[in-house]
Structure 1
Amino acid sequence: MMPFSAILVVAVLLGIAVLHLLWAVGVHWPAKDEATLAKTVVGSKDIQKMPPPLASLLVAVVLIGAAHVVLAHAGLMQGFMLFQMYRIILVAMILVFSLRGLAPYIPHWRAMVPEQPFARFDQTRYGPLCLVIAALLLDVALTGRM
């Protein structure tokens, strides 16, 4: 049986991927316009427009790939060599989400992304969510079936 942490983290990763796919096709949800969305989810100094759609599309693809790695590690793929490759990728994912989760509390990061409401959300929502994802991924790594 797949660990609950795997199910939960896959749902979160796919949910975030769907948001990025929506942004890639020009949907501004949950904001009212592009400038507000950019200030909410990107936060770069003086930002008024979202990054190119390809950037959001690539993030979505990476997140879908991350969900695939979790599912594979949780026992949906077979083979020792394949498992070792997924384990290495899973460890890298844990590191990336941990670093992204800690970034909002580093002054250099704060200076790079000062726009509100991103700066506030980064410390109260985005960073903590990344730390939760990292913890769930760690649980998946420790409880994987392969």
Structure 2
Amino acid sequence: MHLFAALTATLALFAFWLHTFVGHRAVLLPVRQATISSFARATSEVCWHFVTYVLAMTAALSMAASIPTLSGPAAPWLLWAVIAIQLPFAVLFLAVSRVTFHSFTTLPQSPLLGGIALLAGLELVFPIQLPLKLGLALLLTLCLSILALFHVLWAFGVTWPAKSQPELGELVVGNPSTPESADGPVRPFPGRGLTLIVAAALVGAGLWMLLAAIPWGHHGLLNTGAWVVGGVFLLRGIAGYLETRLRPWTRKLAYHHWNRVLYSPLCLIMAGMAIGIAW
């Protein structure tokens, strides 16, 4: 696996998800409901879907370039295609942000698309190649470390991406914070101790996957642990789509939406990576 190409694909997939699910709610739906001309609305729809296909194609090209057996000698050309696609869009959004909002940082598209182009360029300059399992383990560990960092911040009072602790409980855990949103008692956000335990478990799982991916020779225990990690994430990912049967009140919360479009799919992706390492 080519390291920077894999990171390019990861960032491209994140941008695709952000555009498709978050941007759809925050940008496209308000445009559809706005009192604008039919031409402006149709133009917005076309541009929206065009960007969707561009991001999907970028992710596919990057993933192909990250796997030597799949791309072969065509890998540099795939990466140049990624740069040629993403860099103009990054500059365009940067210019729009500056002209419209008088700031280079208002629109998040510029750093995302520019980051994709930058990582593709780094792969061309520094073509670091890793064994597939080790590459998967590094990506999985990075993901788990970011999740662990969020849990540590939440444990010490940070409420992002929510505005308050009760709202964070509704968004992340599915715990109702008001009687109006609960079919029963109001449930607070989990305490600091439990949140830190989850953070430690995520860090431990990431380190375990790294150790399991390193060719130590006979490492049956590490391999078994990797299967366990994959199984846990697989169960969590599947359970996320069945959760309303056991916790029907979550249907009323923002957690229900994000559980289906982010939490559960992410768990299934991490399960696939862990199982790929253990296989």
Q: Please, what TM-score do these two structures have when normalized by structure 2?
A: 0.47
Name the CA shift for 1:115/1:26 in 2 (closer, same or farther; >3 Å): farther
Name the CA shift for 1:115/1:19 in 2 (closer, same or farther; >3 Å): farther
- C-alpha separation between the residues in 2 aligned to 1:134 and 1:109? 23
Instruction: Name the aligned partner's letter for residue 234 of structure 2.
Output: S
For residue 278 of structure 2, the aligned residue among 133, 141, 144 is 141
Q: Report SS of the residue matched to 1:44.
A: coil
Match of 1:56 in 2: 195
Match of 2:174 in 1: 43
- C-alpha separation between the residues in 1 aligned to 2:170 and 2:230? 27
Q: Report SS of the residue matched to 1:49.
A: coil
Matched, 1:84 2:220: yes
Shift of 1:89: 1.1
Shift of 1:110: 4.5
How far does the alpha carbon of each residue in 1:8-52 deviate from its partner, in whole angstroms, 9 at most, with x for none? 111100000000011111111111111110100010343453111
Match of 1:73 in 2: 212
Range with bigger deviation, 104-113 or 27-36 = 104-113
1:34/1:48 contact within 8 Å kept:
no
How far does the alpha carbon of each residue in 1:85-139 deviate from its partner, in whole angstroms, 9 at most, with x for none? 1111111111110010011221424526445111111111100000000011111
Name the CA shift for 1:35/1:70 in 2 (closer, same or farther; >3 Å): same
2:175/2:189 contact within 8 Å kept:
no
Match of 2:135 in 1: 4
2:155/2:192 contact within 8 Å kept:
yes
For residue 96 of structure 1, the aligned residue among 228, 232, 250 is 232
Q: Which has the larger radius of gyration?
A: 2
Name the CA shift for 1:71/1:129 in 2 (closer, same or farther; >3 Å): same
Give ranges in structure 1 of 5+ residues lacking alignment. none
Larger RCO, structures 1/2 (Cα 8 Å, 6+ apart): 1
Matched, 1:27 2:147: no
| % identical aligned pairs | 31
How far does the alpha carbon of each residue in 1:52-107 deviate from its partner, in whole angstroms, 9 at most, with x for none? 1111100000001001111101117x463xx2111111111111100100112214
Give ranges in structure 2 of 5+ residues lacking alignment. 1-129, 177-181
- Runs of 4+ residues deviating >6 angstroms: none
Count of equivalent residues: 139
Instruction: Name the aligned partner's letter for residue 15 of structure 1.
Output: I
Q: RMSD in angstroms over aligned alpha carbons?
A: 1.9
Q: 1:113-128 to 2 correspondence within 5 Å?
A: 113-128=250-265
Q: Please, what TM-score do these two structures have when normalized by structure 1?
A: 0.86
More helix by share: 2
